[in-house]
Amino acid sequence: MNLAVSLLIATALSLSLPLAGAHRRVLADSPPAPPPQSFAHGSRRNLTYILAPGGRFQTFVMYLQQTGLVEVFEIQAHRTHHGITILVPTDRAFAAIEPSVLSGLKKHQVKSLMMYHALARHYALKEFDALSRVSPVTTFAGGLYTVNVTYDAGAIRVVSSWADAKVVRPVYEMPPMAVYEIDRVLLPDAIFHAQPAVEAIPPSPDGTTPPSDGDATKTPGGKAGGTLDAKSSACRALGRAASYVIAAALCAVAL
């Protein structure tokens, strides 16, 4: 027997001993923990549930329900290999649009407008950097409905013909569904042939959740502080919906 073979046998022995030990431990212990993917039956697949906390996306949800898109988006997420990314304007963003602009649309146009706020693939926030080099980006509404994405040191904007929206924070980022809050309704020229009447939105994000424990004194209106606060509150919301470990890992990436 030459040296190489004896080395091989020695290595195999030294590997198999601890492995055998581990195997016995697993058999002796209680059943292994479930894989992390199984943490959120039900809520994970439910877009209405994901968009409910805080009641800040009620207009978008109303339009999705009116046009039968809740199910279409959920099916895109779960029955394709690609998943979905949904860019959800806040109620404030919808309120900034002159009411006749949206009430004047036909039902199929409302549907296209809502589908214009989705991409037929799951994109994590960090993938928007690569997405910004694709121009234009086709949305779920089809080839006539494109946006451009810009990515500048983590600041993401989605550009439509008549509006330029900032990605404010992740609402939900777990594959196969990614949901991001944006501060403007995207307005495509495939529907609007001229600039629709849109008000400037007051800069303060949401006065509805004032910090309760002296946070305000630490970040006196600082822009960076505000963004972090917004992110960590989204992360707290995630933590309530998902298992803590997964939410914490996601948030560590996001922050």
Ligand X SMILES: *[C@@H]1O[C@H](CO)[C@@H](O)[C@H](O)[C@H]1NC(C)=O
Residues forming contacts to ligand X in the complex (CB under 6 A) are 42, 46, 48-49, 52, 135-136, 147-148, 159-161
Minimum distance from residue 216 beta carbon to ligand X (Å): 31
Between residues 192 and 239, which has the closer beta carbon with respect to ligand X?
Answer: 192
Between residues 63 and 205, which has the closer beta carbon with respect to ligand X?
Answer: 63
Closest-CA residue to 196 (of 67, 83, 109, 122) = 109
Which strands make up the sheet holding 164-172, listed edge to edge? 118-119, 84-89, 177-182, 164-172, 155-159, 142-152, 137-139
Between residues 40 and 101, which has the closer beta carbon with respect to ligand X?
Answer: 40
CA–CA distances in Å: residue 1 to residues 4, 5, 11, 14, 162: 8, 6, 15, 19, 78
Minimum distance from residue 61 beta carbon to ligand X (Å): 10
Parallel, antiparallel, or unpaired: how do β-strands 155-159 and 142-152 relate?
Answer: antiparallel
Between residues 183 and 229, which has the closer beta carbon with respect to ligand X?
Answer: 183
User: 149, 134 in Cβ contact below 8 A?
Assistant: yes
Q: Is the peptide bond before 89 cis (omega within 30 degrees of 0)?
A: no
Minimum distance from residue 160 beta carbon to ligand X (Å): 5
Closest-CA residue to 141 (of 46, 50, 57, 67) = 67
Between residues 94 and 116, which has the closer beta carbon with respect to ligand X?
Answer: 116
Query: What is the spatial distance between Cα 203 and Cα 230, in angstroms, rounded to a whole number?
Result: 14
Minimum distance from residue 148 beta carbon to ligand X (Å): 4
Minimum distance from residue 146 beta carbon to ligand X (Å): 6
Query: What is the spatial distance between Cα 244 and Cα 167, in angstroms, rounded to a whole number?
Result: 24
Between residues 97 and 147, which has the closer beta carbon with respect to ligand X?
Answer: 147
Closest-CA residue to 214 (of 224, 229, 236) = 229
Which amino acid, one-letter code, is at 119? Answer: L
Minimum distance from residue 190 beta carbon to ligand X (Å): 10
